[in-house]
Structure 1
Amino acid sequence: MTEDEESADGLRTLTRDLVSIPSHEDPTAAGDAIESWLRAETDGTVERDDHGNVFARKGSGPTLALVGHHDVVPPGEPQVTVDDDGDESYVLDEHDGRLYGRGSADMKGAVAAAMCAFRDADPDGVELCFASFVGEELGGIGARGAIDDGFAPEFAVVGEGSTNYSGPGVTDVVVAHKGRRASALVARGESTHASIPEEGVNAVYRACDAVDVVREMAFPETTVLGESLRGSVAVTEIDGGTAWNVVPDRCEVTIDERTVPGERAPLEQAASIEGVEWTVEQDLPPMACSDDDFADAVLAAAQDVQTGTPEHVVKPHATDAGWLADAGTACVICGAAESGEAHTDTESVSYEVLDRCYRIYHAVAEDASAFA
């Protein structure tokens, strides 16, 4: 395949157009471009919800959704330019078969591949839905809003990164990923002058006792479709005290827990220490594919379009697939982004792998009888 050839008409041009649109502060313009393209280029029913999510649908039967997001994290200094009027635009570069720019890997490239697959597919026995959410980088705001409004596909292929997991150059199928629970332990005591510590209650000591409880906890573990997934628990911050000569009456400990489907570390046990309270500040759910036939069908599609041998794999971090799976959707993840590529100042995506993802999405939509 030459640099100018594409497996989907206009895929590379569409990718470049989407990546060029700033969407780290406000994803509206990127959503406008996606909506406009879908209305002009497809025969689907297109809508934009109150959250800013964009949907397109066609066909009938159980719903298979091709899912992405069009918000991005803030660009690094090399990835943005400002014109004389103060307007920002993203810097694009192309060489060695790759497109460089903020959002190319995470995940406007996969969004473009899903848009083209939606356009070209004649869905077999399913309602084919394209969905691009806002606010994924902010904890799944768009996905949660859509789910609250009734978005409930039976199946979803989420286009987050799954390339180079089992081996170089291979696009795999993720059947599970970790979630993230951020929580805090707040220890309270009674302050006094440090020269008479026995007349107070040291909140730092209480916090340290609670940290010892956390330190001894086993990491949560599970198995999904034969793949092992191991979470983690780590104390990442501690803050207490006001002066060198005052016994502190408050100390706060931050805990980062990477959760796995069906298992959580018993962090509430740390609150058994007198004067210690445990609160959860963020809980991004893990994902486990709930339908073996669906996971196998997507893997078969991935095997058919590449020379490498893809596998069912697991992913270390949370995505919108967690919210969908938590709501009852059978999810897998399959996308062009490579491990370690997203959120970097040199973020890029392979055009060859984008073509591959298009073919995977197209094949899954057209052979839904394998799972639906």
Structure 2
Amino acid sequence: MTAAALSAGPLAEADLDVVELTRRVCDLESVSGDEAALADAIEAAVRSWGLDVMRDGDAVVARTVLDRPERVVLAGHLDTVPLADPPNLPVRREEHPQDGDVLVGRGTCDMKGGVAVQLVLARELGQAVAAGRGPSRDVTFVFYDNEEVEAARNGLGRLARNHPDLLRGDFAILLEPSSAVVEGGCNGTLRVEVVTSGRAAHSARAWRGHNAIHDAAEVLDRLRDHVPREVEVEGLVFREGLNAVKVEGGIAGNVIPDRCVVTVNYRFAPSADVAAAEAYVREVFAGLEVHLTDAAAGALPGLDRPAAADFVARTGTEPLPKYGWTDVARFSELGVPAVNYGPGDNATAHADDERCRVEELHRCLAVLSEWLLADGPARGGDR
């Protein structure tokens, strides 16, 4: 290792492939709220590769500034959910009976495999610019903290509030696990509390009260009979969902409950805004007491934009809708079309045996590298 690489930390070596980088990024433990060591290592590495770098808390933004006609943003979060017991680190490489050659350990899927892909690309772009072979597009790399916890702490949201100019571009790719298939946009999400009220009484004299939990049957009946909609948006079919996720009521085993709360989660297609989604839920529960507690709009796919269409073509896959809510919605709020595209199967995210296929790491890197570095102008056009 050179002296420069030593000073730039454990992620900056020029000969690290995407598999070893994934291992090193994962083994730098970074449970939500404790991302500083990994952010430090990433900041040191991208600075050593000659990129323009900005730090906000434990979020790192690295950019090329070459006056290209288009800018692409690649984003990924640094944090993970807590380790398993016993800890599922350090990462190990093994042959899985279904998935073949895999890396196993916390963060391999969600989403440090994607972070490692970003780092290899950042190194390649830095080397290309230094050699006079600029990328075909300007690129912004965003590495952010606190995605796995409440939205108020989300590092990408903080960057959008404090430095929205750094997130602007013609197209954004969130390297969340998608099995190396493009997932366009995302559904919105909304939660309400549906409340039923009764009258408390001793359960030995139940006729003197009115049971609010029994009245919640009306809420559950409507949910049971509800038929989720399938909504086509820009050529992708988003499936909605309306489900009870929590029921609370009662204060003691001998008291008729005078209040019951059913928490309902609505996943709605990105063609609707929050106001329209709330109106729909209130229509479903017409005549009942409904309180909105949380909501986030979805994101339109934007796959007709030139950069997005070109990228989808390069992947050679048919895009799918993203049913869950992801941070692509934050880019959508800034007017930047965004997709999810990264290594790893979401089905293993947060599992004790969380894993990522090695083949998907290589495939995502190859697609993005070819797309960003092919046909780049010579350095004479750089700034």
- Residues 46 and 122 in structure 2, CA contact (< 8 A), matched pair in contact too: no
What residue number does 1:168 align with? Answer: none
Describe how 1:314-329 pairs up with structure 2 within 5 A: 314-329=321-336
Match of 2:301 among 289, 314, 319: 289
Q: Report the secondary structure of 1:56's partner residue.
A: strand
Per-residue Cα deviation, 1:40-84 (whole angstroms, up to 9, x for no partner): 2x221111113x21110013344311111110111222434xxxx
Distance across 2 between alignment mates of 1:277 and 1:244? 27
Paired amino acid for 2:106 = R
Distance across 2 between alignment mates of 1:197 and 1:99? 59
Q: How far did 1:107 drift?
A: 0.9
1:129 lines up with 2:136 in the alignment: no
**Structure 2 gaps, min length 5:** 1-13, 96-100, 129-133, 377-383
What residue number does 2:311 align with? Answer: 298
Describe how 1:321-360 pairs up with structure 2 within 5 A: 321-360=328-367
Distance across 2 between alignment mates of 1:285 and 1:30? 30
1:248 lines up with 2:248 in the alignment: no
1:159 lines up with 2:166 in the alignment: no
What residue number does 2:91 align with? Answer: 92
Distance across 2 between alignment mates of 1:198 and 1:296? 66
How many residues align structurally?
A: 337
- Residues 23 and 71 in structure 1, CA contact (< 8 A), matched pair in contact too: yes
Per-residue Cα deviation, 1:67-110 (whole angstroms, up to 9, x for no partner): 11110111222434xxxxxxxxx222112432211101111111
Residue 31 to residue 368, structure 1, CA distance change in 2 (3 Å):
farther
Paired amino acid for 1:159 = L
Residue 344 to residue 17, structure 1, CA distance change in 2 (3 Å):
same
Q: How far did 1:113 drift?
A: 0.9
Q: Report the secondary structure of 1:34's partner residue.
A: helix
- Residues 43 and 53 in structure 2, CA contact (< 8 A), matched pair in contact too: yes
Distance across 1 between alignment mates of 2:352 and 2:299? 28
- Residues 46 and 55 in structure 1, CA contact (< 8 A), matched pair in contact too: yes
What residue number does 1:67 align with? Answer: 75
- Residues 190 and 296 in structure 2, CA contact (< 8 A), matched pair in contact too: yes
- Residues 114 and 361 in structure 1, CA contact (< 8 A), matched pair in contact too: no
Describe how 1:202-281 pairs up with structure 2 within 5 A: 202-263=211-272, 264=277, 266-269=280-283, 272-273=286-287, 276-281=289-294
Q: How far did 1:270 drift?
A: 5.7
Q: How far did 1:228 drift?
A: 1.3
**Structure 1 gaps, min length 5:** 1-6, 81-89, 164-170, 304-309
Distance across 1 between alignment mates of 2:346 and 2:114? 15
Percentage of matched positions with identical amino acids? 26
- Residues 248 and 262 in structure 2, CA contact (< 8 A), matched pair in contact too: yes
Taking only aligned residues, the RMSD between alpha carbons, in angstroms, comes to 2.7
Distance across 2 between alignment mates of 1:351 and 1:244? 54
- Residues 348 and 354 in structure 2, CA contact (< 8 A), matched pair in contact too: yes
Distance across 1 between alignment mates of 2:44 and 2:63? 15
Q: How far did 1:196 drift?
A: 5.7
Match of 1:115 among 115, 119, 122: 119
Distance across 2 between alignment mates of 1:271 and 1:338? 36
The 10-residue stretch of structure 1 (227-236 or 122-131) with the greater mean CA deviation from structure 2: 122-131
Q: Report the secondary structure of 2:347's partner residue.
A: coil
- Residues 244 and 264 in structure 2, CA contact (< 8 A), matched pair in contact too: yes
- Residues 55 and 61 in structure 2, CA contact (< 8 A), matched pair in contact too: yes
TM-score of the two chains, using structure 2 as the length reference: 0.79
Distance across 2 between alignment mates of 1:19 and 1:172? 22
Q: Report the secondary structure of 1:128's partner residue.
A: strand
Q: How far did 1:230 drift?
A: 0.5
What residue number does 1:54 align with? Answer: 60
The 10-residue stretch of structure 1 (343-352 or 199-208) with the greater mean CA deviation from structure 2: 199-208
1:138 lines up with 2:149 in the alignment: yes
Residue 196 to residue 320, structure 1, CA distance change in 2 (3 Å):
same
Distance across 1 between alignment mates of 2:80 and 2:138? 28
What residue number does 1:86 align with? Answer: none
Per-residue Cα deviation, 1:171-207 (whole angstroms, up to 9, x for no partner): 3211133343233223333323446656544322443
The 10-residue stretch of structure 1 (181-190 or 228-237) with the greater mean CA deviation from structure 2: 181-190
TM-score of the two chains, using structure 1 as the length reference: 0.81
- Residues 56 and 131 in structure 1, CA contact (< 8 A), matched pair in contact too: yes
Distance across 2 between alignment mates of 1:44 and 1:67? 16
Q: How far did 1:247 drift?
A: 2.8
Paired amino acid for 1:187 = T
Compare the two structures and name the one with the higher helix fraction. Answer: 2
Distance across 2 between alignment mates of 1:63 and 1:295? 11
Paired amino acid for 1:71 = D
